[in-house]
Amino acid sequence: MILLRRYGTLLALALIVLVFTIASPQAFGSTPNLINITQQMALLAIVAIGATLVMVLGEFDLSVSAVVSWAGIAAAALFAAGVAVPVVMIVVLVSAVAMGAISGFLVARFKVPSFIATLAFGTVIGGLTFWVSNGATMFSGIPAGFRDLGRGTLMGVPVPTLWLIGTAIVFWLLLDQTEFGRRLYAIGGNREAARLVGLPVRRDMVVAFALCAALAGLAGLLLTARLGSAHPTGGGGYLLQAYAAVFLGMTAFREGEPSVPGTLVGAAIIAVVSNGLTILGVPSFLQDLLTGAIILAAVLVRNFGRDGD
């Protein structure tokens, strides 16, 4: 029971993997497919790790999907103009950081509810994305060197997986091992108390939103590299799934707190379910039903353990 209470969500992930492996040992359970799942979850997990930072503050950033789309389109437009890969990456990431900082400033300085501020600002970013792309999918002029940042393998590990590993380590250390991370948890726990003890609440909130947007921008760049094209609504699918991953992760490892390892488990559950159900040939509508049910079941397994029921 103690095991269930502490590691219920992780056990749920293991159970889901086991069930799929039994149902499809040749396809799902094969090593290449399991490695491929880490590649498929990479971009979602990177966005979700960013969302974890603002969730630690007790806030939401609903503009992440718009930033993902923006980053892809901005990169494609710059490539079409002949700009070099490193310059494109720096410009796009800086623009994403600026977008996140604006959202954070609106929330921290003017106390606009993050739900509203980021929804509104996300709409502005969406408009900018459509303006730049003229609403069209962009896929000309994307250099092969850039594309290699989102595809292929390095020593047998998919490149997107390596990006995820690097991001997860950096942000796990940032949240768990630095004063900045502890300040974010303190602000999320009681903002007024954090302010009264002299923590730089506003500055830390702006930085957290900026880092969240930076990761969304990175995911947008990697998505464009992976697909070789940029779609003006390409990031649309990440918003709900990223927060689902964070919420799932909140039931793992820590008592109801967002954490990087928890978010990784959440993203893995979502990726494994999508991969496994597709391999088993489950139609889309049934996939939706089962995905929702499996997420609920994963949380329930954890809660049963917590209640000692």
Tell me which residues touch another protein (CB under 8 A). Answer: 4, 8, 11-12, 15-16, 18-20, 22-24, 26-28, 30, 32-33, 36, 40, 43, 130, 133-137, 139, 151, 223, 226-229, 231-234, 236-237, 274-275, 278-284, 286-287, 290, 294, 297, 300-301, 304
Nearer to another protein, 160 or 249 (CB): 160
138: phi > 0 → left, psi -120 to 50 → alpha, else beta; which? beta
Q: Is 62 helix (H, G, I), strand (E, B) or coil?
A: coil
Two tokens, residue 146: 């850039």
Q: Is 242 helix (H, G, I), strand (E, B) or coil?
A: helix
Nearer to another protein, 229 or 254 (CB): 229
- We find the least distance from the C-beta atom of residue 74 to another protein, in angstroms, to be 16
Side-chain half-sphere of 263: how many Cα atoms within 13 Å? 31
- We find the least distance from the C-beta atom of residue 11 to another protein, in angstroms, to be 6
283: phi > 0 → left, psi -120 to 50 → alpha, else beta; which? beta
Nearer to another protein, 2 or 26 (CB): 26
Alpha carbon distance 102, 96 (integer Å)? 10
Nearer to another protein, 112 or 280 (CB): 280
- We find the least distance from the C-beta atom of residue 272 to another protein, in angstroms, to be 11
Nearer to another protein, 114 or 161 (CB): 161
The count of other CB atoms within 10 Å of the CB of residue 302 is: 23
- We find the least distance from the C-beta atom of residue 248 to another protein, in angstroms, to be 15
Side-chain half-sphere of 266: how many Cα atoms within 13 Å? 32
